[in-house]
Amino acid sequence: MGCVTTTVMDRVLAPGERVEEQLRSTVPPYPSVECHMAVCRSTVAPCGMGEHSITKSEFVDGLRCERLLWLSRYERDLRSPPSMDERRRLRQGNEVEMRARQEFAGGRLIVGVPFDLERARAETHAALAEGVSVLFQPVFEHDGALVVVDVLRRDPEDSKAWQLIEVKASNSLKKPYHLQDAAVQAHVLRACGHRVSSVFVQHLNRDYVHPDRGDLFVLEDVTTAIEDVDVRSSLPRLNRILDEDKAPGVVIGPQCKNPYDCSFKEACWSPYGKRTIFFVPKTIHHTRIKRLREIGVVQLDDIPDEFPLSADERAGVELIMGRERHGDRDAVQALLGKLEYPIHFLDFETIDDALPRLEGTRPYQKVPFQFSCHVLHEDGRLEHFEYLHEETTDPRPPSSAYGTSRTSSWRPMSTTASRARRRSRRCCPSCALS
């Protein structure tokens, strides 16, 4: 994902006009402010923000982990670089947001975000003064928080009130994170003197089938649900954290993986090594994990002898500590004895598009585009068969045909040859990451 400079776009969309058509004619595709803040930060107060202004994504991060908030602002070099899949997800998020704008005719896109927020503020004020009914990416700042709203629409039943719409590339409402995101935006708008009559999260519809069965998006009303998010007291607390000279000493825990792996996880976890309560086979039950963290125990060496672990948990601890080896040879032999030759070892890969492009598919439906099958015969012979879809067409018919046809119609190859072919090919025809 690259950072680009936007050009002027100040006309209102004509009814039925696609946002993408206007974007292509005036600006290159660009990331939202949140994606820019997450990947392309380079200064302590990026994008012209006030020194203590917290974006909506930083607000959600701060509620998840105070250390994450501080590191995101001051120690960004400690982040693990985004993987190819993470970059793809960011790009898909931008595509979903752009597609969502097609649902709102007559919208005006506020330019300047995220590279010139002073300009964005000025254009937001101008659009409000002109009475524009739908705004994309308007900017508001108050009470130590800066928010960029995905869609702001005048309430059709009350022209003096606004409907706030947060667009998400997920196919369901994710609590509490989506609620926190929407809550801080509503708080800032109301603090700026704007009436917000309702708040929605617009996400993908898991039941939509491409190209035309159902609605692509679901508009979920969260007006009441966001009242449980204490924005008023949280903002001052998070700002005080940013005033500190060093990162808060938060102990590693489930927040490092939930709702997804934190980009600072490697930096925070590396000092502990792998002998922690989070690396035990079969996993220590989350209730006992919580109790151990409450008494300050993270390292396996520090678990009190009298602490109540189950037999499986205790065996896992002993295994990690190297005090005991555990293996059930009889069970392994019994399992292998049930196998009948020829034995097939099948591996396959899938692609899941947020915006489905193949007929009959849903958002994030996994579509196979590659498989590899090793066949072990009783006499020790090993054959390998494979398929990799390298076109931009639908990969399902050919891969299904290979998978359901008789073995004699597959393409046998030596393992060395097949690896060489895989190395020379793209990751997949649709992700364009390799």
CATH code, 120? 3.90.320
Residue 260 sits in the same domain as residue 287: yes
Residue 192 sits in the same domain as residue 293: no
Rounded Cα gap, residues 202 and 99, in angstroms:
12
Domain boundary among 183, 210, 239: 239
Residue 225 sits in the same domain as residue 301: no
Proportion of the chain above pLDDT 90, given as a percent: 68
* Residue 389, pLDDT score: 93
Model pTM score: 0.78
pLDDT band at residue 189 under the 50/70/90 scheme: very high
Q: Which residue has the higher pLDDT, 8 or 231?
A: 231
* Residue 410, pLDDT score: 42
* Residue 24, pLDDT score: 36
Residue 40 sits in the same domain as residue 105: yes
Rounded Cα gap, residues 63 and 387, in angstroms:
46
Residue 191 sits in the same domain as residue 59: yes
User: Residue 247: inside a domain, yes or no?
Assistant: no
The domain of 209 spans 19-239
Q: Which parts of 131-176 fold into alpha helices (H)?
A: none
Helix axis angle, 66-74 to 56-64, nearest 10°: 130
Q: Which residue has the higher pLDDT, 368 or 49?
A: 368
Mean per-residue pLDDT, 96-115? 92
* Residue 174, pLDDT score: 96
User: Residue 43: inside a domain, yes or no?
Assistant: yes
310-322 residue pLDDT tens: 998 988 888 888 8
Mean per-residue pLDDT, 192-201? 98
User: Residue 249: inside a domain, yes or no?
Assistant: no
* Residue 399, pLDDT score: 57
- Convert 273-284 to b/e letters by CB count within 10 Å (16 or more is b): eebbbbbbeeeb
On the question of pLDDT at 137 being above 60, the answer is: yes
Residue 97 sits in the same domain as residue 199: yes
On the question of pLDDT at 13 being above 80, the answer is: no
* Residue 377, pLDDT score: 96
Proportion of the chain above pLDDT 70, given as a percent: 79
The pLDDT mean for the chain works out to: 83
DSSP code, position 203: E
Based on the structure, what is the number of domains in the chain?
A: 3
DSSP code, position 105: T
CA distances (Å), origin 23, targets 17, 27, 98: 11, 5, 9
Q: Does the bond joining 176 to the residue before it have cis omega, within 30 degrees of 0? A: yes
Mean per-residue pLDDT, 175-181? 97
Rounded Cα gap, residues 242 and 69, in angstroms:
8
* Residue 119, pLDDT score: 94
- For residue 155, which of 229, 221, 227, 231 has the smallest C-alpha distance? 221
Residue 208 sits in the same domain as residue 153: yes
387-396 residue pLDDT tens: 999 998 999 8
Residue 302 sits in the same domain as residue 361: no
Query: How many residues in the chain?
Result: 434
Rounded Cα gap, residues 409 and 155, in angstroms:
61
User: Residue 62: inside a domain, yes or no?
Assistant: yes
Residue 114 sits in the same domain as residue 159: yes
**Of the listed ranges 132-146, 232-246, 314-328, 342-356, the one predicted with least confidence:** 314-328
Mean per-residue pLDDT, 40-54? 46
User: Residue 2: inside a domain, yes or no?
Assistant: no
Residue 296 sits in the same domain as residue 393: no
Mean per-residue pLDDT, 236-262? 94
Q: Which residue has the higher pLDDT, 138 or 418?
A: 138
Rounded Cα gap, residues 67 and 178, in angstroms:
20
On the question of pLDDT at 240 being above 70, the answer is: yes
User: Residue 8: inside a domain, yes or no?
Assistant: no
Domain boundary among 210, 239, 268: 239
Rounded Cα gap, residues 22 and 109, in angstroms:
10
Other residues' Cβ atoms within 10 Å of the Cβ of residue 248: 13
- For residue 317, which of 303, 306, 327 has the smallest C-alpha distance? 303
Q: Which residue has the higher pLDDT, 309 or 320?
A: 309
Q: Which parts of 270-395 fold into alpha helices (H)?
A: 286-294, 311-320, 329-337
Rounded Cα gap, residues 391 and 369, in angstroms:
10
* Residue 281, pLDDT score: 73
* Residue 396, pLDDT score: 85
In terms of Cβ atoms closer than 10 Å to its own Cβ (0-12, 13-18, 19+), residue 315 is: middle
Domain boundary among 239, 267, 286: 239
pLDDT band at residue 79 under the 50/70/90 scheme: very high
Residue 43 sits in the same domain as residue 184: yes
* Residue 411, pLDDT score: 45
User: Residue 127: inside a domain, yes or no?
Assistant: yes
* Residue 283, pLDDT score: 81
Residue 134 sits in the same domain as residue 274: no
On the question of pLDDT at 182 being above 90, the answer is: yes
User: Residue 334: inside a domain, yes or no?
Assistant: no
pLDDT band at residue 20 under the 50/70/90 scheme: very low
**Of the listed ranges 35-49, 65-79, 272-286, 313-327, the one predicted with least confidence:** 35-49
320-334 residue pLDDT tens: 888 667 778 999 999
* Residue 35, pLDDT score: 41
- Residue 213 dihedral angles phi and psi, to the nearest 5°: -100, 95
Q: Which residue has the higher pLDDT, 67 or 424?
A: 67
Pairing of strands 195-204, 158-167: parallel
